[in-house]
Structure 1
Amino acid sequence: MVVTAPSDESVQPAVRGVRVDVGVASDQGRRDGNEDAVLASGGVYVVADGMGGHDAGEVASGTAVEVLGALVGTTPDVDEVTRTLRDAHERVRDLPSGSYRRPGTTVTGVVLTEHEGVPCWVVLNVGDSRTYRMVGGVLEQVTTDHSEIAELVRSGLVPLDAAARHPRRHVVTRVLGGGATVVEPDVWLLAVSPGDRMLVCSDGLTDELTDARIEAELRAADGAQEAADRLVAAALAAGGHDNVTVVVVDASTRRR
């Protein structure tokens, strides 16, 4: 399921002095279907990666981005984004379950807003999908993975170079929906820097490509859509074992 819109004036975010160029690409890879969902319109740029079996995962991710659609065209603060994520959690939890495994979904991305007159990204994350920022040609992961392997690496129990091969690398510790009664999303403000290139992606990208390869592909692409297409093509060429979804958002500032 993909919910998106072309990056023309009608879907520009409601933040003065900032324009965006948006690229979206998705592929099911070697899976039978695509359980990722995207919202990339009106200042909201998120990717959700569903789980719980094909039908349940697709519905869970689609439900999450549907709820987050309430933020399109607004300039929300951190509390508003947090409340919307908790609403999405409740909506996904209420979905019917046809098995012991309840529907759930990761979600990550950015919402363009203003804070005290300064353009900012509200960064949001639940799960192991990722949001990155590239500025000055340097790529940085700005979200923290909610996964067992990430916790093991942070604690020093597993070396970083062994994480990609660890048998627990796909076990997430936070999701929207699933079995948890409440969810604690990561939500915070990040000031927009001139020339920001934001990357939002499911783990189908990061399981196949290193951060160094992702940075190289982003550097090689002129526009946001070219960047998104290059990344998905590279992930598929590297194996494409999972659904892979990418949103690239280029932000440019102008005088008010």
Structure 2
Amino acid sequence: MGELSQWQEESPLRGNGLLRSSGSGSGLTWSLRSDRGLVREANEDYAFADVPTGGNANQGALFVVADGLGGHEAGEVASRVAVDTVVEAWRSLADKPLKVRLRSAFRLANQAVFDEALRCHNNGMATTLTAVAILGPVAMVAHIGDSRCYHIRGHKVEQLTNDHSQVGEMMRRGLISPSEAASHPARSVLTRCLGRELNTTPEIAQRELIKDDLLVICSDGLWDLVSPQEMVQAIRNEDASGGSQTGDVVEELMKLAIYRGAPDNVTVMIVRAEEQPNVRQSSTTRGHWFKR
């Protein structure tokens, strides 16, 4: 593992608490924060980063964000079970190509959440799941639900994930505009999520990274309040100050969401390519539901 610090709030409140983590390794720096926000009693989001270094660097880095559904303890359990299962599967399949590892990890995570729901007699248990695998210059995003991943290069930002929601589907069909989607009554109705069906397949996208590229992975608690342009501006502000620290940008975005009321849990993770990624010669380089 690279240098990192992790902290989780010991809180009397239910849920996954306040998560903070940061680190560096494999030519990447990253930071994450997950907060319950100002309205929810518990944090049902969960996030984790797995960044091997040294002799294990060719296994690739993995960054995961999940937004649990079902309310009460169901959401917090679903998000954590999904993330823990994906990370464990990712590590165990280190000799496989990236896409195979991600698809297999999602399949196992879906099964784990599905089984946990049956065990707890809670049919409402489910979660979104967005995972970014990085090996050399390749960033591969696997995704189910409406958490998001953005790719930022200079002043340009691109959303790499499609929202698997009723409103997202309507926008893609041209039935409503982005401004109409922002206040649509069905904006929280998911069409795909992890744990509700026995079989599910993630949507996968891929990008090549260059030095100073950034990836922002977040739950809807952030992107619903903070626009992609504001994310870019926060990064530019930090770069202008001479800091370029992912942790400072994460804190700025979190403060903005809190300032705007944070009615939902808020999770944001930022990953920066600190050097020009190199192609590594490795076998791994081959080749809708109501929320709450």
Q: Please, what TM-score do these two structures have when normalized by structure 2?
A: 0.78
Residue 99 of structure 1 and its aligned partner are, at CA, apart by 6.3
Q: 2:30 aligns with which of 7, 17, 22?
A: 22
Question: Does residue 248 in structure 1 map to residue 270 in structure 2?
Answer: yes
Residues in 1 aligned to 2:221 and 2:91: alpha-carbon distance in whole angstroms: 26
Q: Secondary structure at the match of 2:140?
A: strand
Moved more, 70-79 or 205-214: 70-79
Distance 1:96 1:199 in 2: 30
Name the residue aligned to 1:36. 45
Given the alignment, which residue of 218, 230, 239 partners 1:213? 230
SS of residue paired to 1:229: helix
Query: How far apart are 1:253 and its partner, in Å?
Result: 2.2
Q: Is the 8 A contact 1:109 1:130 kept in 2?
A: no
Retained in 2: the 8 A contact 1:132–1:139?
yes
Count of residues in correspondence between the two structures: 243
Q: Over the residues paired in the alignment, what is the CA RMSD in angstroms?
A: 2.1
For 1:33 and 1:215, locate their aligned partners in 2 and report how far apart those are by CA, in whole Å.
29
Q: What one-letter code is carried by the residue in structure 2 that aligns with 1:22?
A: W
Cα distance in 1 between the residues matched to 2:261 and 2:121: 30
Answer yes or no: is 1:77 the counterpart of 2:95.
no
- After TM superposition, give the deviation of residue 105 of structure 1 in Å: 0.4
Q: What is aligned with 2:181?
A: 163
User: 1:109 Cα shift?
Assistant: 3.1
Q: How much has 1:100 moved relative to structure 2?
A: 6.0
Contact 1:40/1:247, CA 8 A, preserved across alignment:
no
Unmatched 5+ residue regions in structure 1?
Answer: 14-18
On the 8 A contact 1:153/1:163 being kept in 2, the answer is yes
Q: In structure 1, how many angstroms separate the alpha carbons of the residues matched to 2:185 and 2:125?
A: 22
- Are 1:232 and 2:254 counterparts? yes
| 1:88 matches 2:86 | no
Identity of aligned pairs, percent? 33
Q: In structure 2, the residue corresponding to 1:189 is in which secondary structure? A: strand
Residue equivalent to 1:204: 221
AA in 1 matched with 2:46: A
Amino acid at match of 1:148: Q
Whether the aligned pair in 2 keeps the contact of 1:5 and 1:41 (CA below 8 Å) is: no
Structure 1 residues 7 and 100, CA gap change in structure 2 (3 angstroms):
closer
* CA deviation map 1:100-135 (0-9, x unaligned): 642100011311125xxxx20111110000000110
- Equivalent runs, 1:13-162 vs 2, <5 Å: 13=26, 19-29=27-37, 30-42=39-51, 43-70=61-88, 71-72=90-91, 74=94, 76-96=97-117, 101-114=123-136, 119-162=137-180
- Structure number having the greater strand percentage: 1
Give the drift of 1:248: 0.3
